[in-house]
């Protein structure tokens, strides 16, 4: 009895899923892909030695181009002018307990050729998120803060990649 119901539900589910997939494919829907870069090699300069932003950029860039250590051999040189993570208290109680934090991620950069031709002028990207805070849930809030920073970093990396995709060497 249960197996016949399962077969019936599976058949109905499959019968609904296939036309839905066909409709989505026919309307031009496709998942967002990373922007296509028009160069083959890049060098990252100016980042701190263990910068999470530089690591995330390298990881995404390696999917399409070679990331070189020597800037004179690269077609594009991405220079970090400023790479900052900030955490500041926005609101507190009368007993000086923190109630709200603001997280900021800032990246200032420019891109040029090894010869010095400017490809992207000095640009600044700034993201900020507000986060409530409770000292009774400090460990959970620490994990939430780390996750928010990861999401902001992924967003900044995507913005940098979109700007690099517009570069013509």
Report pLDDT digits (tens) over 77-99: 999 999 999 999 998 888 888 99
DSSP labels for 15-51? Answer: HHHHHHHHHHHHTT-----PPPPS-SEEEEES--TT-
**How far, in Å, CA of 102 to CA of 124, rounded?**
19
Per-residue pLDDT tens digits for 131-164: 999 888 989 999 999 999 999 999 999 999 999 9
pLDDT at residue 38, as a whole number: 92
Q: Please determine, for residue 58, whether its predicted confidence score (pLDDT) is greater than 70.
A: yes
Q: Which of 65, 58, 80 is nearest to 125 (CA)?
A: 80
pLDDT-based confidence at residue 54 (cuts at 50, 70, 90) = very high
**How far, in Å, CA of 87 to CA of 66, rounded?**
34
User: Does the predicted TM-score (pTM) go above 0.85?
Assistant: no
The widest CA-to-CA distance across the chain, in whole angstroms, is: 76
Quickly count: other Cβ atoms within 10 Å of residue 120's Cβ. Answer: 17
Q: Please determine, for residue 20, whether its predicted confidence score (pLDDT) is greater than 90.
A: no
């Amino acid at each position: 009895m249960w197996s016949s119901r399962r077969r019936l539900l599976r058949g109905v589910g499959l019968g609904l899923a296939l036309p839905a997939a066909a409709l989505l494919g026919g309307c031009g829907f496709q998942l967002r892909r990373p922007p296509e870069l028009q160069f083959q090699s890049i060098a990252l300069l100016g980042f701190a030695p263990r910068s999470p932003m530089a690591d995330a950029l390298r990881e995404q860039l390696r999917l399409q181009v070679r990331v070189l250590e020597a800037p004179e051999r690269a077609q594009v040189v991405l220079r970090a002018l400023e790479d900052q993570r900030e955490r500041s208290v926005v609101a507190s109680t009368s007993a000086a307990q923190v109630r709200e934090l603001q997280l900021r991620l800032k990246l200032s950069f420019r891109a040029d050729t090894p010869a010095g031709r400017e490809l992207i002028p000095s640009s600044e990207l700034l993201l900020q998120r507000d986060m409530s805070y409770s000292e009774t849930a400090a460990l959970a809030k620490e994990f939430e803060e780390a996750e928010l920073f990861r999401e902001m970093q992924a967003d900044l990396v995507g913005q940098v990649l979109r700007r690099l995709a517009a570069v013509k060497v």
